[in-house]
Amino acid sequence: MFLVISAIFPYTTPMPKTTPKQKKVVEKVSKKTKGKHISVIGTGYVGLVSGACLAEIGHHVICVDRNKDKVEKLKKGISPIYEPGIEELIARNLKIKRLEFTTDLPDAVKRTEVVFIAVNTPPRPDGKADLSHVANAARQIAEVAEDYKVVVDKSTVPVQTGEKVLETLRSYNPHGIEFDVVSNPEFLREGSAVQDFLHPDRVVIGSENERAEKIMREIYAPIKAPFIATDINSAELIKHASNSFLATKISFANALAAICELTNANVEEVTYGMGLDKRIGPAFLKAGAGYGGSCFPKDVSAFVKIADEINYDFGILKAVEKINEDAKASFIKKIESALWIVKGKTIAVWGLSFKPNTDDMRSAPAVTVINHLRDEGAIIKAYDPQATEKAKQVLGEENISYEKSALDATKNADALVIVTDWEEFKKADLEKVHKSLHQPLVIDGRNMFDPKEMKEKGFNYISVGRTKK
């Protein structure tokens, strides 16, 4: 028996060592199911986390990637991404031979009964999801499959993609074998992806028959969470709907921040009062310099295009996108207004990744902010605990230096700009920061500090949606 799954993606608790109780659960489930033989095609955030976690819960997993250098590093237990807990899981499961890495896709497919296709679905210039990697993976699987397969889309894909995957599998298989297609969206947050996989809010499965559903239930048997079984189209929509709704909450908070600044109110007090309502909740209701990452910008844009193609004007999501861009522009205006003249100024930037506890630079607000400031003639001194190397690839090294510490970045800078709310920044010695800066100006895009305390420490402190009083 054979299963294929394609994965997505997109608050931060490091992955602890497996407890004796967890080990007993894994051993119990492994004895019951004997462990599935699984392939994971693609070793990005979702593919690598899914592969390592599936091995952790008792399955035998082969992760496939065409990047030879990446595969060689993974064989040595070196992760290509920064994700709390992932290297520990890789090392542990490599040692017990439940996890391996290869570039040989046909061999991996033939040796396994379950295959996760964890390939990227990046946005095209028009906003639609580029499904070429999914289509190519499905074709390669079809070409080597010799017996019954269950093919599961785990990537964030537009609704009705499952139909195209099934069509591809049937068209390119030379043996005329039977396929089942399943949708199994993931809800992994970068920075806490390991925990999110092992302790999810729910497991969503979309299938068209009990045979495929049974296999999926066996795979996820060790995961203690609600198991939601739906049709394929509904499962595909659940992922886009979930991410788009969370992005909507963030943009709503940013719209509130703009109103608070115009009315001399405090957005944090407003959102706190809102969040106590159980129907609303506090999660993702935080104003700032805009959202980024591999999921929200891509998924909102793709959902808008999905709606357009079925002649539905998803106006609320178009507004979400606009408000997010407005939030970045508003933050840049705060910097320009505070500095008066940007040209020739040295600006310290704390935070480069799109969120803390990851090194992901995709759609990071810091990229927009830094590029604009450099275009205006500023010199940037940047620091991030994990994203420096990836930032160099994205931002280059013209008019920007990458510092070894947060304090080094502030030395003789005309202002400190905070773009990512790493925990390290919250613990910074503000007295040393004050002395280090050429002038004690801080523009905080994540509202990390208390305005009253910053004023008492002698800072000219500017945040988002919290007017000076």
- 53, 63, 260, 295: which is the annotated catalytic residue? 295
What is the residue type of 46?
V
8 A C-beta contact, residue 52 and residue 93: yes
Q: How far is CA 95 from the centre of its chain?
A: 28
**Cα 120 off chain centre by:** 12
Q: Nearest to residue 383, comparing CAs of 348, 421, 359, 356?
A: 348
In SS3 terms, the chain reads as: CEEEEEECCCCCCCCCCCCHHHHHHHHHHHHHHCCCEEEEECCCHHHHHHHHHHHHCCCEEEEECCCHHHHHHHHCCCCCCCCCCHHHHHHHHHHCCCEEEECCHHHHHHHCCEEEECCCCCECCCCCECCHHHHHHHHHHHHHCCCCEEEEEECCCCCCHHHHHHHHHHHHCCCCCCEEEEECCCCCCCCCHHHHHHCCCCEEEECCCHHHHHHHHHHCCCCCCCEEEECHHHHHHHHHHHHHHHHHHHHHHHHHHHHHHHHCCEHHHHHHHHHCCCCCCCCCCCCCCCCCCCCHHHHHHHHHHHHHHCCCCCHHHHHHHHHHHHHHHHHHHHHHHHHCCCCCCEEEEECCCCCCCCCCCCCCHHHHHHHHHHHCCCEEEEECCCCHHHHHHHHCCCCEEECCCHHHHHCCCCEEEECCCCHHHHCCCHHHHHHHCCCCEEEECCCCCCHHHHHHCCCEEECCCECCC
295 is catalytic: yes
User: Which amino acid is residue 197, in one-letter code?
Assistant: F
Read off the amino acid at residue 72: E
Q: Name the burial class of residue 404, with classes exposed (0-12), middle (13-18) and buried (19+) by CB atoms within 10 angstroms of its CB.
A: exposed
Q: Which two tokens stand for residue 197?
A: 């996989």
Going edge to edge, which strands form the sheet with 415-418?
Answer: 400-402, 379-383, 346-350, 415-418, 441-444, 460-462
For the annotated catalytic residues, the residue numbers are 295
